[in-house]
Amino acid sequence: MKIAFVQPANNQKSGKWKAQGVYRTPTNLAILASYVRENGYDPKIYDFDLESGNSIENARTIMSDNPDVIGFTCLTPRFPLVVEIANECKKIKSNVVTVVGGSHVNGQPKHVVKYPSIDYAILGEGEEALLDLLNHIEEGKDVSNLPNLAFEKDGNCIVNPKRPYIEDLNTLPFPAWDLLNLDYYTDPAFFNGPHLGILSGRGCPFNCNFCASKVVWGRNTRVRSAISLADEIEIAIKEYNIREFMFYDDTFTINKNMVRLFHDEIVKRKMDIRFYAQVRVDTIDYELVTTLKKSGCFAVAIGVESGNDQILKNIHKNLNKEQIRKACKDLKRANMPFLASYIIGHPGDTHETIKATIDFADEIDADQSKFLIATPYPGTELYNLAVSKGVLKEEGAESLGDHTYFQHVAANLSEVSDEELLKYQQLAFDNYDLKKSPLV
């Protein structure tokens, strides 16, 4: 049975953002493709981030290989496009089975499966759930009781309970990189050539009100072994001649012992690599940052979010400015370049708190600074708050194509107008873009 895995285009990319030429590997799809392939299925991956074309052209490309099942990964802003492509695929082959997974599905499963072009949605972790679905389809069995599955039946949306998460992530196969043209995955501001995205774990124990991570993974954190990570990197070097990597984890340093063991593996195997990772300020110290640097880490990203302690408390960041200051001093002491990201437009944000955030960015003086506008994604506390206040409709996915945090206000819960938020973001972007330091 042929399976097509599809990443829809990111149509949000425009102007300065698009000109940066940043393309990330669809690592989630590559892992799923590897998993179903080792269980006897024939997968292909279509990454429309890399290609131009409308939904009709995308559908023709997908259906040219006559797949039996199409699996879409779906972030909220791309859901309208997923529906369009699925609809066009059904016009070509009416009995092709369409499946959608990703953070948007977990936040709004009942809304997703109401569309006739979407047959099934998979909630939570996808590997075992997708394989079960494929096996049942191939064998002609009833799928209605499969865990993690959502679908519409007789006009009603059925959302089945989830199965337990995979405890040992080391049992999963490495991504099927051979199904992608890896030369296209570039980021000139960070990497010298092609790079791969790696997941060292799943889940986040923290509870930030704007983050969709826990919507998919819950707050149960599972981490791969250092040996497994080193093995994956070693294969990338030997088979694809790629030595640059980005860890996609919310917090790469959530398990400090794994970071130290990973360093030991890199040194032992004499692997010359460069990698970039996201960290959280209360999970690092000078010693750990030094270990990261010796492992090949050339820069890290930290989420500061706000320069006001009360706002940090309101959004459940569970951090304060003094903790952030200390971590930034440790990063600078270790000569570790870092990117700091900030969000404006939080619930309760005022002109004063936003100006405090911009002032705090001046104080921290990161190598690069990024200012985003608070955006409520389905399943998050921020989204639920926006719905409860009538700022958003619960089933508003048809208008979610513009649910971006850059130069757009999707739902404003702050005390500042949309126009003023956009002005603050543009001002910050212009100031910090001009003085940012290259991380390559």
Same domain, 310 and 234: yes
Q: Containing domain of residue 415, as a range?
A: 186-435
- The residue among 99, 124, 159 that closes a domain is 159
Same domain, 114 and 191: no
**Residue 191: what pLDDT?**
93
- Whether 83 and 217 have beta carbons less than 8 Å apart is answered as no
- The residue among 159, 175, 208 that closes a domain is 159
Same domain, 22 and 112: yes
Question: Could you tell me if residue 89 is inside a domain?
Answer: yes
- Whether 342 and 304 have beta carbons less than 8 Å apart is answered as yes
Half-sphere exposure of 54 (CA within 13 A, CB side): 3
DSSP character string of 303-360: EEE-S-HHHHHHTT----HHHHHHHHHHHHHTT--EEEEEEE--TT--HHHHHHHHHH
Same domain, 222 and 365: yes
Same domain, 205 and 117: no
The Cβ of residue 1 has, within 10 Å, a number of other Cβ atoms equal to 15
- The residue among 117, 141, 159 that closes a domain is 159
Question: Could you tell me if residue 180 is inside a domain?
Answer: no
- Non-local CB neighbours of 235 within 8 Å, separated by 6+ positions: 174
**Residue 18: what pLDDT?**
56
Question: Could you tell me if residue 173 is inside a domain?
Answer: no
Question: Could you tell me if residue 164 is inside a domain?
Answer: no
Name which of 70, 126, 71, 74 is nearest 103 in CA terms.
74
DSSP class of residue 415? Answer: S
Domain count, the chain: 2
Rounded CA gap, 233 and 29, in Å? 18
Question: Could you tell me if residue 97 is inside a domain?
Answer: yes
Same domain, 201 and 314: yes
Give residue for tokens 């492992």. 295
CA dihedral 140, 145, 149, 152 (to 10 degrees): 80
Give the domain CATH number at 315.
Answer: 3.20.20.70
Same domain, 256 and 114: no
Question: Could you tell me if residue 170 is inside a domain?
Answer: no
Rounded CA gap, 269 and 227, in Å? 11
Residue 256's Cα: distance from chain center in Å? Answer: 22
Same domain, 121 and 194: no
Question: Could you tell me if residue 165 is inside a domain?
Answer: no
Same domain, 25 and 115: yes
Same domain, 288 and 352: yes
pTM of the model: 0.94
**Residue 439: what pLDDT?**
67
Decide the pairing of beta strands 149-153 and 120-122: antiparallel
**Residue 359: what pLDDT?**
94
**Residue 290: what pLDDT?**
98
- Each of the 440 residues of the chain gets a pLDDT tens digit; together they read 999 999 999 865 555 555 567 899 999 999 999 999 999 999 999 999 998 789 999 999 999 999 999 999 988 888 999 999 999 999 999 999 999 999 889 888 988 999 999 999 999 999 999 999 999 999 999 999 999 999 999 889 999 999 999 999 999 999 999 999 999 999 988 999 999 999 999 999 999 999 988 888 878 899 999 999 999 999 999 999 999 999 999 999 999 999 999 999 999 999 999 999 999 999 999 999 999 999 999 999 999 999 999 999 999 999 999 999 999 999 999 999 999 999 999 999 999 999 999 999 999 999 999 999 999 988 899 999 999 999 888 765 555 555 565 678 888 999 999 999 999 998 888 887 666 666 65
Same domain, 332 and 389: yes
CA–CA distances in Å: residue 24 to residues 127, 142, 185, 347, 360: 21, 37, 6, 31, 30
Describe the crossing of helices 418-435 and 351-364 by its angle, rounded to 10 degrees.
10
Rounded CA gap, 313 and 254, in Å? 21
Residue 210's Cα: distance from chain center in Å? Answer: 13
**Residue 367: what pLDDT?**
92
Give the domain CATH number at 137.
Answer: 3.40.50.280
Question: Could you tell me if residue 166 is inside a domain?
Answer: no
Same domain, 112 and 229: no
- Whether 315 and 385 have beta carbons less than 8 Å apart is answered as no
CA–CA distances in Å: residue 319 to residues 27, 281, 285: 30, 8, 15
| Residues counted in the chain | 440
Rounded CA gap, 359 and 369, in Å? 12
